[in-house]
Amino acid sequence: MRRCYFQIPLLTVLTATTFPIWQGTPRVASANQSESGPTFYRDVLPILQQHCQNCHRPGGIAPLLLITYQQARIEAHAIATITGNHRMPPWFADPSVGSFANDPSLTLHELMTLLTWDMAKAPAGDPKDAPPLRVWTNGWNIPRPDAIVKMTKPVAIPAEGDIEYTYEIVHTNFTEAKWVQTSEIRPSSRESVHHAVVYVRPPGSKWLDHAPVGVPFTAADMTDDKSKRDALWTDADILLVYAPGSSPDRWPDGMGKLVPAGSDLVFQMHYTAPGHATSDQAEIGLVFAKQPPKQRVLTLQLTNDHFVIPPGADDFRVEARGTLPNDATLLSFFPHMHLRGKRFEYNMVAKDGAIEPLLRVNWDFRWQLSYQLAKPMHLAAGTELQAVAWFDNSSANPHNPDPSVAVRWGDQTYDEMMVGFFDVAVRPPSCLQRAANILGA
């Protein structure tokens, strides 16, 4: 059985030691040099605003604030080192494959600026040179939402133990169809969210039709077999997929996700116990397209759920393929694996079997990112897509919870997943629109 799903790796290209200029001839910072060299206000702050503050700010996901000179000065060396190693900003795509609109990587010039600034003992410079303060609107990373859909009841999260996938169904009360151009989910307890998928349930859908609305539940709470199955699998249309560090969806002009009138949004939350009891009440901000778009965006997946990773295997390959039934414009990728993930690739397979790589990710479990193509790609009906994942179940994998067991598909992080989500835009009418989001299933 084959299904459609996808994923990529992280390459280290540049470290401070690859700059010969810094070896052997340490500069002595004279008064003149520190005036002509980079200063915080003129040169460093714009980089922090553009590449770091979306996470390193109050209410952001990072532990450290990088807004003021005082905050950045004491971290100057850490900033130069961590950016030189390509550990920050987080980005895991092999730079030799594809180019991505949301690639936050610093340019060589920006890396050099941070390094030189640190070496010159982090001078402040003149506050008058500073760019305008970057304003973050009340926690949203998107423009002011036209609608906010919030979980009706908070979900209680225990301090310890496994937590089953938790669902909450929320009525939108939309009286007309809405086209979503931009969306963002904000959990209230970010630290507890491993990942989240939000589905659109149109009126008349039989999916989870016996489940309660407005209260959290899990498969174990369901009393009949259909509901239990419904809490494990669906082909419902996906509004958004979230994991810490992922950026909000912003569809190009003329494209949007459809939420039919009277739909419900179904939150599927994967929480992990944070070590202390807490609760989460996530909300979704939606910005609607000004005009009905010409193309509808659908999130599809290349999935393989029937693998067995042998104990100790250090480079175990799992593949999924699928064929597009319609012309489509390929927009973005979101690979998903767990702790034993190692690499993930998305490829196009030509009729003669030749492979054209679309994305290669060096997997880091802590960062589940989306990769948005800089140039959306037209794919003709009949195009075959392939996702390939590699898993490391050996003791050399520092995240491996148990190298001595065979590992199969499952919800929990000590189980594995192989899912290559990807987004396409299609023109109506299209058979893809009938919400079969699993290619080749």
Q: Would you call 270 helix, strand, or coil by DSSP?
A: strand
81 vs 218 by CB, closer to ligand HEC: 81
Residue 242 · residue 285 · CB < 8 Å: no
Q: Nearest approach, Cβ of 55 to ligand HEC (angstroms)?
A: 3
89 vs 285 by CB, closer to ligand HEC: 89
Q: Nearest approach, Cβ of 28 to ligand HEC (angstroms)?
A: 26
C-alpha angle 323/412/195, rounded to 5°?
A: 70
Q: Which tokens is 295 given?
A: 């193309």
Binding to ligand HEC in span 360-379, by CB under 6 A? 366
**Closest by Cα among 432, 393, 388 to 299:** 432
Among 11, 14, 65, 82, binds ligand HEC (CB under 6 A): 82
Name the β-bridge partners of 286.
Answer: 147, 183
Among 245, 256, 322, 376, binds ligand HEC (CB under 6 A): 245
Binding segment toward ligand HEC, per CB under 6 A, in 88-96, 117-125, 229-237, 284-292:
88-96
Among 78, 159, 308, 431, binds ligand HEC (CB under 6 A): 78
Q: Is 122 left (phi over 0), alpha (psi -120 to 50) or beta?
A: left
Q: Nearest approach, Cβ of 21 to ligand HEC (angstroms)?
A: 21
Characterize the bridge pairing of strands 255-259 and 341-349.
unpaired
Binding segment toward ligand HEC, per CB under 6 A, in 49-57, 275-283, 310-318, 371-379:
49-57
75 vs 94 by CB, closer to ligand HEC: 75
Q: Would you call 404 helix, strand, or coil by DSSP?
A: coil
Phi, psi of 343 (to 5 degrees): -145, 160
**Closest by Cα among 405, 15, 43, 410 to 219:** 410
Task: Report the Cα–Cα distance between both ends of the chain, in Å, rounded.
Answer: 7
- Torsion over CA: 87, 184, 370, 363 (sign): positive
Among 2, 3, 42, 51, binds ligand HEC (CB under 6 A): 51
Assess 248 for contact with ligand HEC (CB under 6 A).
no
C-alpha angle 371/412/363, rounded to 5°?
A: 30
Residue 7 · residue 358 · CB < 8 Å: no
Assess 61 for contact with ligand HEC (CB under 6 A).
yes
Assess 56 for contact with ligand HEC (CB under 6 A).
yes
Q: Nearest approach, Cβ of 364 to ligand HEC (angstroms)?
A: 9
Do you find a cis peptide bond into 89, omega within 30 degrees of 0?
A: yes
Assess 55 for contact with ligand HEC (CB under 6 A).
yes
Q: Which tokens is 421 given?
A: 């989500």
Binding segment toward ligand HEC, per CB under 6 A, in 8-16, 75-83, 345-353, 400-408:
75-83
Q: Nearest approach, Cβ of 111 to ligand HEC (angstroms)?
A: 9
Assess 90 for contact with ligand HEC (CB under 6 A).
yes
Q: Which tokens is 3 given?
A: 């299904």
Among 14, 62, 215, 348, binds ligand HEC (CB under 6 A): 62
54 vs 304 by CB, closer to ligand HEC: 54
65 vs 436 by CB, closer to ligand HEC: 65
Q: Nearest approach, Cβ of 82 to ligand HEC (angstroms)?
A: 4
Exposed e or buried b per residue across 172-199, where buried means at least 16 C-beta atoms within 10 angstroms of its C-beta: bebeeebbbbbbbbbbbbeebbbbbbbb
Q: Nearest approach, Cβ of 41 to ligand HEC (angstroms)?
A: 16
Binding segment toward ligand HEC, per CB under 6 A, in 54-62, 151-159, 219-227, 384-392:
54-62
80 vs 197 by CB, closer to ligand HEC: 80
Residue 193-232 contact track with ligand HEC, rule CB under 6 A, x = bound:
----------------------------------------
Q: Would you call 353 helix, strand, or coil by DSSP?
A: coil
Assess 58 for contact with ligand HEC (CB under 6 A).
no
Assess 38 for contact with ligand HEC (CB under 6 A).
no
Name the one residue in this structure whose structure tokens are 């699928």.
322
Q: Which tokens is 340 given?
A: 């034993």
- Please tell me the distance from the alpha carbon of residue 197 to that of residue 426, in angstroms, as a whole number: 21
Neighbouring residues of 138: CB distance < 8 A, sequence distance ≥ 6: none
Assess 52 for contact with ligand HEC (CB under 6 A).
yes
Assess 111 for contact with ligand HEC (CB under 6 A).
no
Assess 65 for contact with ligand HEC (CB under 6 A).
no
CA distances from residue 412 to 19, 248, 338, 343 in whole angstroms, order as listed: 43, 25, 8, 19
Sites of contact with ligand HEC (CB under 6 A): 51-52, 54-56, 61-64, 75, 78-79, 82-83, 88-90, 104, 106, 245, 366
